[in-house]
Amino acid sequence: MSIGKNIAHDSSIGHVTGKSIFIDDRAAIQGELQVGVVGAPVAAGRLKQVNTRRAELIPGVVGIFTAKDLHHNQWGTIIKHQPILVEDKIGYMHEPTVVVAAETREALTKALRVIEIECEEGKPVFTIDEAIAKEDFLYEATPFVQGDVEQALKTADHRLKQSFECGGQEHFYLESQATVAIPLENGQMEIHSSSQHPTETQHVVAHALGLPYHYVTCTVKRMGGGFGGKESQAAPFAAMAAMVAAKFNRPARLILSKDDDMQMTGKRHPFKNFYEVGFTKEGMITALKADLYSDAGAYADLSSSIMERAMFHIDSAYYVENVLITGRCCKTNHHSNTAFRGFGGPQGAITMEALIEDIAKVVGKDPAEVRRLNLYGKDVRNRTPYGQIIDHNPLPEMTDRILSESEYARLRSEVDAFNAKKCGKVRGLALSYTKFGIAFTAKFLNQGNALVNVHLDGTVQASTGATEMGQGVNTKIQQVIAHAFGIPPKDVQLMPTSTDKNHNTSPTAASSGSDINSAAALMACDKIKRRLQILLHKFWNGETFDDVKEIELDFEGDLDHIEFIDEKIIDTKTKKELPFKEAITMAYLNRISLGGYAFFKTENLGFDKKKCEGRAFNYFTNGAAVSMVEIDEYTGEMKVLMTRILMDLGRPLNPGIDRGQVTGAFIQGMGWVTHESLVYSDKGVLLSHSPTTYKIPNIQDTPREFVVDFIENNENKQAVHRSKAVGEPPFLLGGAVFCAIKDAIGYRTANNKISSPATNERILMALSE
């Protein structure tokens, strides 16, 4: 049995030995060109001309291209209005403008430095407040309305009216945007890309070159990290490389440097959320009026869907009877912000978690008490602001367990005693939650397909639309297939994701890559298994097959008693059995297909976007975290002393991989709310554009005491083997650290207000107020 076992990540040995092949590890093909990009020198304005004379004189430079060299220059996942290369209007600093092709990287580097771009500079917009004042929005969402907010606010015992800001975040994947384009015969193009969405990359390349889709194949072996940053924004860079490959009929390689990648690509959306909340003397929330604003950047990208998910998750894990939630995506002159792990969910949830801290301060209660009071119930108080009923809600029991196992009451007493000493350091303690909806909010994306081929030696090759970015999706699918056939996981090989084998696939995103693609793979396996069951049922019941008489696969009855166990196929009724490999050979000799293709769509989704009501998600992945921090009052330095996490992952397909996802997501979430600060100049230049200027968490930043545990939950029938998605939900638990910081500040000041990220500087300033 492979399900629920800790088998190794299928690329683990390759990663630690350095043998895993990434895009830039691919050996150069004869005649291959090196491709680079020059960005706009201003954040807003118009392109006047490009001077390439000096670059053209550099030996080895073979071509310089601008927007006019593309057949089609517009792209966009939702709204196709973003140029691949600047044609006229400039949207943001370092927006791709010129593409250079050279024989060597040395020649390319020299050429990129001497290209001159002349612009007419305009007046940029850099803040959400500026965009609000101009009413310049790329998208306005349909509001979520439930109950009577205005009346509930009027009658509330207490009201708070304030705003909450959270910053953006750099994806900081180890492998920058990378692609190799290979021209084939008859005008076809083969693309190898570090992309989470091979189908979109295929489509953008085809449009850019003026080709039909069937002339372009996009293949993804693996990515060196993605985190959402390669869901949409890998595609235009692939188009640039493909343009060069098509012009010269030579392979072309485009690998961005870390600096160029960070300057040219979008980030997590910064948000500024305005809200008014009403609550009782005990701290129970009775009304929430929230207006969410995101910094979308210059173009739409995925901003509308990200805003909607923020609206879906501003309730965090708490029931609110009366709500009015609006959302607007602000147009600014920053890089076009994009998908990032959590996809807007963190920006919504952390607003509510921070708000709970403020409510607790007003009513004079421990924030954990206020959280418990407002938590979604099991049979009552379980309707979301968008009308979905939360079923099988484990949060109340999870709360009891994590408060007990973390010894929260004892920790609170210790924090109180420590802070009373006033020794130059102050501690804070917080509990927070994740209740993350699993499904793409765009219903049509909840689909996938799989191709499974069984070979005569009993081994299996499988292809799905899932892309492997280090998260272990291929390993989970490998386990599902191995379990289905009763064979060892080592006998199953997941092939590179490619649009010629798996068409019209959705991006590997929304934490649903494992759910959708595992389900499709299992369906494909079941088709093959059914043929083998019929074959053996007839064989074991005396039917003979020869060169004259062929088997007919026309049996309609139940054959579940013929099982695939331990590399054998066994009739549990008659106790007859046959080795799996022999059964495969028998099927082949009788001309029975040993390949299976299947299509899967997530059932029972039905959210009405006009009414903003319905079943938006397939199910929820839940979690809770308790964190304790210590702050130096003289420097603002913060350390996480303890974090305890309790997750509901259903029946994990691979507990070890899931544990890695939980710990990694939490640390990344913690980084977003503490260290990771995007810094721009007054001209819109990203100053924190390298590992030396952008701070991600390191080993010293991890909690000194760090415990991750799972609950037992067998109720999730909406996913394969009753598992639950894990990629994004634990990210939101990083909010526990932010709330612990707010808690600590509240011991020293009357106002514990602080924006995210709570950097050391911001903490020090908050303590000084």
Do you find a cis peptide bond into 143, omega within 30 degrees of 0?
A: no
The pLDDT tens digits for 224-257 are: 999 999 999 999 999 999 999 999 999 999 999 9
Q: What fold, for 12-124+178-255?
A: Aldehyde Oxidoreductase; domain 3 (3.90.1170)
Beta-sheet strands, E only, within 692-731: 705-710
Domain ranges for the chain: 12-124+178-255, 271-441+609-767, 447-601
pLDDT attached to residue 611: 85
The pLDDT tens digits for 27-65 are: 999 999 999 999 999 999 999 999 999 999 999 999 999
The pLDDT tens digits for 558-569 are: 999 999 999 999
Instruction: Answer yes or no: are the C-beta atoms of 597 and 451 closer than 8 Å.
Output: yes
Q: Which residue has the higher pLDDT, 434 or 545?
A: 434
Does 612 have pLDDT greater than 90?
Answer: no
Q: Annotated active-site positions, please?
A: 728
Does 497 have pLDDT greater than 90?
Answer: yes
Instruction: Answer yes or no: are the C-beta atoms of 238 and 191 closer than 8 Å.
Output: yes
Question: How far are the Cα atoms of 375, 453, 481, 657 from residue 461, in angstroms, in the given order?
Answer: 46, 5, 10, 22
Q: Considering the chain, what percentage of its residues have pLDDT values greater than 90? A: 97
What CA–CA distance (Å, rounded) separates 715 from 717?
A: 6
The pLDDT tens digits for 373-432 are: 999 999 999 999 999 999 999 999 999 999 999 999 999 999 999 999 999 999 999 999
Range 447-601 classified under CATH 3.30.365.10: yes
Q: 10 Å Cβ neighbour count for 106? A: 13
Structure tokens at 668: 């990344």
Does 548 have pLDDT greater than 80?
Answer: no
Q: What is the DSSP letter of 650?
A: B
Q: Which residue has the higher pLDDT, 141 or 544?
A: 141
pTM, two decimal places: 0.97
Assign 550 a pLDDT band (cuts: 50, 70, 90).
confident
Does 1 have pLDDT greater than 80?
Answer: no
Identical fold between 271-441+609-767 and 447-601? yes
Q: What fold, for 271-441+609-767?
A: Aldehyde Oxidoreductase; domain 4 (3.30.365)
What CA–CA distance (Å, rounded) separates 99 from 109?
A: 12
Please provide the average confidence, as pLDDT, over all residues in the chain: 97
The pLDDT tens digits for 521-538 are: 999 999 999 999 999 999
